[in-house]
Amino acid sequence: MSEKVFPKDFMWGAATASYQIEGSPLVDGAGSSIWHRFSHTPGNTYNGDTGDVADDHYNKYKEDIALMKELGLKAYRFSISWPRIFPYGKGKINEKGVDFYNRLVDELLKANITPFVTLYHWDLPAALQDLGGWTNRDIAYWYTDYADYMFQRFGDRVKNWITLNEPWVMAFVGHFMGEHAPGMKDLYASFSAVHNQLRAHSKTVKTFREENIKEGKIGITLSNTSHDPAADSQEDIDAARLAHEWSNYPLFLNPIYKGDYPKGIKEHVSEFLPHNYENDLEEIKEKIDFVGINYYSGDLVKTDTKSFLGGKTVERGLPKTEMGWEIYPEGFYKILKGVQEEYNPKEVYVTENGAAFDDKVVNQEVHDEKRIEYLKQHLEQALRAIQNGVTLKGYFAWSLLDNFEWAWGYSKRFGIVYVDYKTQKRIIKDSGKWYSQVIKNNSFEF
C-alpha cells in the first residue's frame, strides 16, 4: 500500500445525530425527549437555542442525501430518535416515526450509501427520565426492547449498528457537570448511568445475536481526549493515566472486553459505583464486532490533589478550535494505537472527527482552510495508525451539516456543509469539496 493511500474499500462517511439536525421534535406523534426539555429550559443553551427547527432534516432529508451523493460519501452515520418510535419510551409505537426512518434508509440505499445507525445519541424519551432515566436499572430492559424493535424493522436493510454514542458524555456531562440533559450534578448518578448504559449495551448485543441479522455488525461509540502528562513525573503520569481510564474508551471497553472496570477507577472512585455492581460484570462482558472511536482533541494533565481524580488540565500553547479544544493530531494516533494495543478489537471505525471554526459565507462560498488542515492532519494520523496495525476500517467526518451543538446551540459550526439557519440553504464548504476529493482518491494527497 502506497504510503499515502488508504486500504481498498475504506469506508468514507460523515456523521450526524437526530436531535442535532432533524427539527420537528414533536411532529407526527413523536414524544418529548430530555433534550427538548433541557433546551426549552431557560439558561441551559446559548441564546436559548433549541432543536425545534435545527437543519429541518425531518423535511429536507432527500435534499441532504442528494448532497451526500454529490460529496461521494460511501456511508452515512445517523441516529434514530427513540421518542419518535416509542413516544413514552416503551409500550405504544408511533408508526409515523418508524416511517420517517424507513424513508430515510430507503433513500440512502437508493443513493448507494451504507447506513450506520446509532440507536441512542442522547435524546432519551422524557417519560423515561421521569422514571429515573439512566439511573433506573430497568432502563437496560426498556432500551433493549427499543433496540430489538429497530432490529426487527430495519435489520433487513441496516447492517451496521452502534448501541450508544459517547456514554461517558451522557453520564458525566449530563449527570455530573450538569451541562447536558438531564442537567444533574450527582457523581453517584453518573456512575450509575455508566453502569446501566453498559448493561443496556450488552443486553442489546445479546439480543442482536439472537435476531441473527444477516451480515449484521454491532458496536459502541466512545468519546476520547488524548491526555498527556504535564511533566515526566510519576505523579503527572499517574494523573494522566487515571484521566484516560475515566474519560476515554477504557471505562467501557475494560468491562466489555475484560469483565471489570479499569484498575484506577476501582482504586480511586469505586465508592461511586452502584452497590453490588460486580454481579453484572459477567453479563456486561459480551463480544462486539467493532469499536467506534470519536476523537477531537488532547490536553495536558498535571497532578492536583484538589481536583477530581487528582489531576487538572494545564495549557501547552497549541492552536485551538472555536470550541477551545487543542488541535492535537498526534493524540488521534495515540488513541487509535492505544485501543488496538489494550483491547485488540476486530474492527475500529472513527465514528466522529472534526472541528468547529468561525465559518463565513463569501459570495456563496465558505473558504474553511483551517478545517481542511485539521482534517488532513488527522487523516495522516489515521493512515499512520493503519500502517502500525490498527484495524481501522472507516472514518466519519463530524459533521455532514452545521447543526445544534448541544449547550452551544447554533453558535458552533462543525459541518463540511454550511447551513444558513435563516433560509435553510446548504452550501458545500471548501472542506466538503476537499473531502469529496479524498474519497475519490482514497487519499488525502492528490
Q: Binding site for substrate, residues?
A: 20, 121, 165, 296, 398, 405-406
Residue 415 phi, psi (nearest 5): -70, 155
CB of 169 to ligand 8P5, least distance (A): 5
- Would you tell me which residues interact with ligand 8P5 (CB under 6 A)? 17, 20, 165-166, 168-169, 223-225, 247-248, 294, 296, 352, 398, 405, 414
Q: How far apart are CA 314 and CA 316, in angstroms?
A: 7
Cis ω for the linkage preceding 182 (within 30 of 0):
yes
List residues forming the annotated binding site.
Answer: 20, 121, 165, 296, 398, 405-406
Q: Which is nearer to ligand 8P5, 280 or 299 (CB)?
A: 299
Q: Which is nearer to ligand 8P5, 6 or 406 (CB)?
A: 406
For this structure, is 352 an active site residue?
yes
User: In the beta sheet, which residues pair with residue 248?
Assistant: none
Say which of 22, 166, 245, 286 is annotated catalytic: 166
Per-position DSSP letters for 290-307, written without gaps between them:
EEEEEEEEEEEEEE-TTS
For this structure, is 286 an active site residue?
no
Q: How far apart are CA 202 and CA 197, in angstroms?
A: 9
Residue matched to cell numbers 482504586: 267
CB of 353 to ligand 8P5, least distance (A): 10
Give 365's DSSP letter. B
CB of 204 to ligand 8P5, least distance (A): 19
Say which of 22, 107, 286, 352 is annotated catalytic: 352
The 3-state DSSP class for residue 311 equals strand
Q: Which is nearer to ligand 8P5, 225 or 431 (CB)?
A: 225
Residue matched to cell numbers 476500517: 393
Q: Which is nearer to ligand 8P5, 135 or 224 (CB)?
A: 224
**331: its cell numbers:** 493524540
Positive or negative, the Cα torsion across 259, 121, 442, 66?
A: positive
CB of 326 to ligand 8P5, least distance (A): 12
The CA–CA distances, whole Å, from 188 to 172, 234, 237, 409 equal: 10, 29, 26, 28
Q: How far apart are CA 116 and CA 91, in angstroms?
A: 26
Q: Under a CB-based contact definition with an 8 Å cutoff, are residues 436 and 71 in contact?
A: yes
Q: Which is nearer to ligand 8P5, 6 or 290 (CB)?
A: 290
Q: How far apart are CA 404 and CA 412, in angstroms?
A: 8
CB of 74 to ligand 8P5, least distance (A): 21
Residue 78 phi, psi (nearest 5): -140, 165
Residue 328 phi, psi (nearest 5): -140, 75
Q: Which is nearer to ligand 8P5, 359 or 405 (CB)?
A: 405
CB of 351 to ligand 8P5, least distance (A): 8
Active site residues: 166, 352
